[in-house]
Chains A and B, each alone.
Chain A
Amino acid sequence: MTAVSPTAPQQKKQPSIFSRRFRRSTPGKVGAAIVAVFVLLALLAPILKPYDASSDRNYRLNLKPPSVAALWDKDVAEEYRDPVTGQVNPWSHLFGTDNLGRDVLTRVWHGTAISLKVGVVSTVLALVIGTLVGVLAGYFGGWFDSVTGYLSDVMLAFPSILLAIGFASIFSADNPPLLVSAINSLFVLNSPQLVTAMLAVSLVQIPVYMRLSRAVVLGLREREFVQASGALGATQIRTVFKHVLPNSLSPLIVQGALSIATATIEVAALGFLGIGAQPPLPEWGTMISDSRQYYVDSPWTMIFPGLAIFLTVLGFNLLGDGLRDVLDPRSTQ
């Protein structure tokens, strides 16, 4: 018993360094809180307020301002007065309604799950593919390194949104390829166009991870523990996956959090340009795109979806900064 006890606190130390450093990072805490709130909202949406975007219409209440205004504004109160009971409920449409009389709050709320799924899935795909290619290129070098380096040079020469537009316009929505339909049903997105946009954004991010992981591996390759692994007779594949890869994860995780933010903005931008999610899907970028005809008189149709994008992206950016404080302290000032 006594021989075991000294090692026990040693093992517990590892996670506590992480959480102790993370708790000292204000951006990290704020970011984690924002992200947690949005994840919670996304999970609760289908339970608390089931929603069917395709049947949601209410022509009596179209383009009405946020209903709280009824508390001080008589005109707004008049618009929200129930014709049968004569009652006014100032909490019925907190974010107002859009051109089809749909509750903006409900739609923004249900858009949360879409944006989170799309941001996370596209980032994870890019991270896995890009890291794998980059690690192999960095570790083995040679022609594989040259070819992948050249490919990432070519891809990085395009403004990312234009490259994403190019990728997204290749696939036909009526007859989506197997990969698109598979991802579509796997993540219950119900929109092949959205999946296409997501893949496009993901593809654009791949060279970023290729470069990053390659650079990290180049630094690791000559370190003693990697050479020791080879000297002990480990195969190269084993060395890469057991020793090199786990030690190069920190900067990749930091970049991952930051690129969920980028991916969220870019998918919304594609939706705004009419290439991503299609109406009536409550995707935030598409909602802002819809509002362009009405926002002059009904700014709430544009303000709230945009605010949701902004807050989500802010949350992931802060979380990324916080993770950098923790995992990569040398790079922070």
Chain B
Amino acid sequence: MGSYLIRRIARTLLVMLGISLLVFVFVRSIPGDPATAMLGERATPQAVKNLRTQLGLDKPWFFNPTNPLDAQYPKYVSALAKGDLGSGIKSNIPVRDELGSRFPATAELSLAALFFALVIGLPAGILAALRRNSVWDNLATTISLVGVSMPVFWLGLLLSYFFAVKLGWLPPSARLGNESTLQPITGFYVLDGILRGSPADAWDALRHLILPAIALGSIPLAIIARITRSSLLDVLGQDYVRTARAKGLSQRSITLKHALRNALLPVVTVIGLQAGALLGGAVLTETIFSWPGIGSWVYEAISQRDYPIIQGGVIFAALVVSVTNLLVDLSYATLDPRIQYR
């Protein structure tokens, strides 16, 4: 386990280095000069030159013959290692601070979406596998097919149109109502409302959360339902399930104690893989529902060509995905004791 853990973490770090290199090259390949972008089109050439020197943009990219470490990439990586992602061009707020203040919004939305996906997807998949070729099976298969085929941004607009505009049941945007005076503690507003002892605020936050969470959770729901169904069907066909049935166990006991636990391994893998999909989907969902998280922030940064923010947001997303994958890999041993890491 020990040496596997070290190798697996080393691999994650190596991938992170590759990510930083890729993002570094990307940002420097985007047309337009950051110094000109910061100062505006009418800046004097001298001012642009000074700012370029100040930002270190006059240095070579990877290697400086006179002083090997005095180049852009080594400096950039060492800053990254310290957690320094630079500052937004327009706002001049450090990217790290803004990431920190926006992360709870995205995390709350993503967790709510995942919760929604699990609460519907898991039972749907199980039911479909147990009652194979029944109405329930067809329904679950249809739901998962519709879920993967539905563009998230269109679903978001449809939900917003029917439930917010037409029926007026739920708010169309933001995280809280205008007159809310909730003081955040954790940044998870539903939780904050409860912690502050204010059910009204928690309810308000929850109502704002529902539509974006459904939109964002639609694809994970579909995938979870599909994988649960096929994985459980696979396990239910195994010899040991037949043995369990032969020795007279009830179907309920077979399903819950023997089959489900073994069937969940691929489901956990897939849930882990959804981290990336959720963060990617957050760009679209947050934009539609004016959700003040990382996704809508990165989207605004793209339209304003604010490179430090794009760079920081993308690196952060890739970090989250890599770490989630690592955790998923390590969780296998707990779920399936037969798996030994060497």
Contacts and interface: CB of A to CB of B under 8 A. Distances in A.
A265 B145 contact: no
B19 A154 contact: yes
Interface stretch (B60-68, B182-190, B228-236, B257-265): B228-236
A150 interface: yes
A273 B15 contact: no
A317 B150 contact: no
A269 B149 contact: no
A314 interface: yes
Interface residues of B, number: 50
Given A154-B22, A165-B302, A272-B284, A159 B30 contact: no
A153 B18 contact: yes
B15 A154 contact: yes
A269 B153 contact: yes
Given A172-B31, A309-B151, A158 B19 contact: yes
A310 B161 contact: no
A289 to B, nearest CB: 8
Nearest to A312: B149
A112 B51 CA distance: 48
B154 A169 contact: no
B152 interface: yes
Contacts of B302: 165, 169, 273, 275
Interface in A1-53: 27
B279 interface: yes
- The bracket for how many chain A residues form the interface is 35 or more
Contacts of B145: 27, 314, 317-318, 321
B283 interface: yes
B10 interface: no
B283 A161 contact: yes
A303 interface: yes
A169 B314 CA distance: 13
A318 B279 CA distance: 26
Nearest to B146: A314
B240 interface: no
Chain A CB within 10 A, most for which of B152, B318, B321: B318
A55 interface: no
A256 B209 CA distance: 36
Interface in B14-29: 14-15, 18-19, 22-23, 26, 29
A162 B23 CA distance: 11
A149 to B, nearest CB: 10
Chain B CB within 10 A, most for which of A158, A172, A273: A158
A272 B321 CA distance: 24
Interface stretch (A102-110, A121-129, A207-215, A291-299): A291-299
Contacts of B22: 154-155
A303 to B, nearest CB: 7
A157 B151 contact: no
B299 A273 contact: yes
Contacts of A296: 161, 165
B30 A154 contact: no
Interface of A: 27, 150-151, 153-155, 157-163, 165-167, 169-172, 261, 265, 268-269, 272-275, 285, 288, 291-292, 295-296, 299, 302-303, 306, 309-310, 313-314, 317-318, 321, 333
Interface of B: 11, 14-15, 18-19, 22-23, 26, 29-31, 145-146, 148-154, 157-158, 161, 165, 229-230, 233-234, 276-277, 279-281, 283-284, 287-288, 298-299, 302-303, 305, 310, 313-314, 317-318, 321-322, 325
